[in-house]
Amino acid sequence: MCALFGWLDYKGIVSDRLLKKLTQALANAAEERGTDASGIAYVKGGKVSIYKRPKPAHKIRFNAPNGTRAVMGHTRMTTQGNEKFNYNNHPFYGHADVDFAFAHNGVLYNDKELRTKRHLPNTQIETDSYVAVQLLEQQGKLNFDSLKSIGAMIGSGGLVVMDEDTCMVETARFFMRFTQNESCGKCVPCREGTKRMLEILDRIIANEGSLEDLDLLQELSKTISETALCGLGQSACKPVQSTLRHFRQDYLRHVVDHHCPICNGRKRRLVIKPELCKGCGKCKRNCPMEAISGEIRMPHTIDNDKCIHCGACWGACPFGAIDAIEEEG
């Protein structure tokens, strides 16, 4: 039993001081799943570096240099490979067509079989996880195909935090609009199906929908998921399916009550206070919807027709110039 932790800040939004505190806090929290050894790998200037020791995390001072944009960490409970020999501890360094760091939670029970069958080079590293590094190095490339060949995958994930003042129908519509815009148009289910679903969601949000629309959304979701050609189309309907299953009451407020207290009640609008804005442009650069405009060293403004209230600008502003005000819907 081990733990993995980490963070990404490619745009340099968060201060170095806060990121160092975050790294140590994550490492200390991950100690619950392993105290035999701890380590981090970090990226700065495109270079991968690793720092690890056979100690519990709270006894190590993790201090990635200023300008670090990514950290991956590991706390270890030993199952194979003596942790006192630091080369047995995670993360591991590897090189294919690029340098990489590798950390793993679990046990590879067939590691000895793989070493023999794949003719992997001898190494002093006893940890079973290191076999994965050798397999990737043997491929000579770090990409989708090489990872697939060892039963792994590459990708990313995201976490969206919402409170009780979020209408989940509006959330489903936001993701459906994104998918519909991204559709390449090659297959009919994705091209036309997502368009029809977006139209239905628009109708529901406007309190003009019906219970039959909910049934139609479920039917379209099933058809598109089963017949679309690529992963985008196959997963396009998941936000709708999930919100219909877990937040059906939000839909019923729109189609039965014809009144949503969130969408039709008091709404929050983000504004930039001109007296505090220095025109640094950080909010503008971090807005995913390009909803912020303004010249350098001049007060910026937010277009609330484009704004999705994600809070990226609020978190990026170093001057506290962004505020939320409530208005009648």
pLDDT at 222: 94
Task: Please say if the pLDDT value at position 321 is more than 90.
Answer: yes
pLDDT at 308: 76
Asked whether 298 and 305 are in contact (CB, 8 A), the reply is: no
pLDDT band at 239, cuts 50/70/90?
A: very high
| Separation in Å, CA 256 to CA 107, 168, 210, 213 | 52, 16, 7, 11
pLDDT band at 302, cuts 50/70/90?
A: very high
Tens-place pLDDT, residues 116-153: 999 999 999 999 999 999 999 998 988 888 887 777 76
Strands 47-53 and 37-44: antiparallel
Between the CA atoms of 285, 290, 291 and 297, what dihedral angle is there, to the nearest 10 degrees? Answer: 40
Percent of the chain with pLDDT over 70: 96
DSSP 8-state code for residue 57: G
pLDDT band at 267, cuts 50/70/90?
A: low
CATH number for the domain formed by residue range(s) 3-149? 3.60.20.10
Which residue ranges make up each domain of the chain?
Answer: 3-149, 168-255, 266-328
pLDDT at 163: 82
What is the mean predicted confidence (pLDDT) over 161-174? Answer: 89
Looking at every residue in the chain, the average pLDDT score rounds to 90
What is the mean predicted confidence (pLDDT) over 173-195? Answer: 90
Of 280, 279, 270, 268, nearest to 312 (Cα)? 270
Task: Please say if the pLDDT value at position 266 is more than 60.
Answer: no
pLDDT band at 305, cuts 50/70/90?
A: confident
What is the mean predicted confidence (pLDDT) over 169-186? Answer: 90
Task: Please say if the pLDDT value at position 165 is more than 90.
Answer: no
Strands 37-44 and 99-102: unpaired
What is the mean predicted confidence (pLDDT) over 22-36? Answer: 93
- Report residue 111 as tokens: 């590691």
> Does residue 91 have a cis peptide bond before it, meaning omega lies within 30 degrees of 0?
yes
CATH number for the domain formed by residue range(s) 168-255? 1.20.1440.230
What is the mean predicted confidence (pLDDT) over 67-95? Answer: 94
What is the mean predicted confidence (pLDDT) over 192-196? Answer: 94
pLDDT at 35: 94
Burial of 212 (0-12, 13-18, 19+ CB in 10 A): exposed
What is the mean predicted confidence (pLDDT) over 240-265? Answer: 90
pLDDT at 21: 93
pLDDT at 45: 81
CATH topology (fold) of 266-328: Alpha-Beta Plaits (3.30.70)
Percent of the chain with pLDDT over 90: 64
For the ranges 78-82, 157-161, 184-188, 254-258, the lowest mean pLDDT is seen at 157-161
pLDDT at 322: 93
pLDDT at 154: 65
